[in-house]
Amino acid sequence: MNTIAPPSPGALEIISHPAAAAAAAHPAPLLFVHGAFVGAWCWEENFLPWFAGHGWAVHALSLSSHGRSRKRDELNNQSINDYVADLAETIAAFPAPPVLIGHSMGGMVVQKYLEQAAVPATVLMASVPPQGLLGSAFGMLFSAPHLLIDLNRMMGGGEPGIDSVREALFHQPISTEKLQRYWSMSQPESARALWDMTLFNLPRPGRAHKAPMLVLGAGHDRLITPAQVFMTADAWGCAPEIFDDMGHAMMLERDWEKVATRIADWLTAQAL
């Protein structure tokens, strides 16, 4: 593991792995964009070493005020446009545009980036749909109000119950030790960015650059339900794929490798 830009007060954290020398090299690098409340570390757990071992040069960005990136004390000033600017700044350092893989809020950031520039391909995992988070909030209000309360508490830096974290992010078995470790690396999220994703700065697929797109979701996702994954796919004109036995944190679930394999197979089919 190394970093393209060493974390400093003015830098973005980028965790990188070169393609394994023993693997057949793929021409397009992959850039992973995390969701709310986490940082690039969520990709380092499983996906980055796996994809590097299968021949891709891989990179994961921590958006401003996340992970070890800049502006740690300015979280609530961050908007979705600021996160899109982080992504654009990172892509500008690549010799050619990378494939973008975004999860949850990161999927929203990827969709907004497509309004200003083209990329070879995109993968959206349990992404916030172009219609925003309002449907998700109303769904939780009626089906799991305790989760909505705990998410609001997390936004302000509070401590949700560990069982709520498990219910919100995971469907498959996960040890309490691992769950607590993931929670210890998590953080509050920008209220401004969450409002942008709810109402004020939603993607406009009709104005976006088109590229091959893979839309993935999880059958037991309490945050971005399969119905919302279908909404995303419909807006972008593609067919969604749902992993039935998974929760929201698809890259951290026990069967994460099934998701990684599907993405790798799809990228290979795109000659990427």
Measured CA to CA, the distance from residue 272 to residue 51 in angstroms comes to: 13
Can you give the pLDDT at residue 167?
Answer: 86
Q: What is the mean pLDDT of residues 99-108?
A: 98
* CATH number of the domain to which 92 belongs: 3.40.50.1820
Q: Which comes out higher in pLDDT, residue 211 or 21?
A: 211
In the chain, % helix, strand, coil (3-state, to 5) comes to 40, 10, 45
What's the order of all strands across the beta sheet hosting 58-61? 2-3, 14-17, 58-61, 30-33, 99-103, 122-125, 213-218, 240-243
Q: How far is CA 236 from CA 97, 153, 196, 240, in A?
A: 20, 33, 20, 10
Can you give the pLDDT at residue 1?
Answer: 46
Whether residue 10 has pLDDT greater than 90: no
Q: What is the mean pLDDT of residues 98-111?
A: 98
DSSP assignment of 170-191: -SS---HHHHHHHHHH-----H
Measured CA to CA, the distance from residue 13 to residue 1 in angstroms comes to: 12
- Confidence label for 5 from pLDDT (cuts 50, 70 and 90): very low
Whether residue 184 has pLDDT greater than 50: yes
- Confidence label for 6 from pLDDT (cuts 50, 70 and 90): very low
Measured CA to CA, the distance from residue 104 to residue 16 in angstroms comes to: 21
* Beta-carbon contacts of residue 261 (< 8 Å; ≥ 6 apart): none
Number of domains in the chain: 1
Do residues 32 and 63 make contact, with C-beta atoms less than 8 angstroms apart? no
Can you give the pLDDT at residue 271?
Answer: 86
Q: Which structural domain, as residue segments, surrounds residue 227?
A: 2-269
Q: What is the mean pLDDT of residues 147-162?
A: 62
- Confidence label for 102 from pLDDT (cuts 50, 70 and 90): very high
| Residues 26-82: tens digit of each pLDDT | 889 999 999 999 999 999 999 999 999 999 999 999 999 999 999 999 999 999 999
The proportion of the chain whose per-residue pLDDT surpasses 70, expressed as a percent, equals 88
- Confidence label for 163 from pLDDT (cuts 50, 70 and 90): confident
